[in-house]
Amino acid sequence: MKNKIKRFLCRLKLKFYIWSKKSSTIIPTYQNEIISYEKTCFKICLKIIQHKDTEFMIAPMSDKRYLKNDDMKIFITMTDHRVEITNHVYNYNVKLHDRDWERLTYIFDLEADKRRLNYEGEVNSQITNSLHNILERVSNFD
């Protein structure tokens, strides 16, 4: 009899715990508005990152990332889960959740690395002399 009562109480506690978790995950309406700002900011950053004329800059000491697009007249500074968007008239400062911040920095780093590889390929394609040709030239001067 005691075991049945203990089991019943444990089940009741578990059901109450699950019910309380479900009821606490409901987002109040004022947070929905904040989340829409975050989503809009995230989409703006993605568009700017994917634009071909965007300039990328990273400050390794402060771990800041900068985007500059002269065509759209937009400057974006990304640091510590915050994105600051400036368009010569307004300045918006939006705090992103961890998941969005990780995705945004990953996409930024991926695009910056892709552009770096293209730049290196462009530089290497300009090479007209191999080391062997240079050695032959130097050897011929003796």
Domain ranges of the chain: 54-125
The arithmetic mean of pLDDT across residues 36-49, rounded, is 92
Report residue 6's pLDDT band, with 50, 70 and 90 as the boundaries. Answer: confident
Report residue 138's pLDDT band, with 50, 70 and 90 as the boundaries. Answer: confident
Report residue 116's pLDDT band, with 50, 70 and 90 as the boundaries. Answer: very high
Residue 141 has pLDDT above 70, yes or no: yes
CB atoms within 10 A of CB 19: 10
The arithmetic mean of pLDDT across residues 52-79, rounded, is 93
Token pair 């004022």 is found at 30
Residue 10 has pLDDT above 70, yes or no: yes
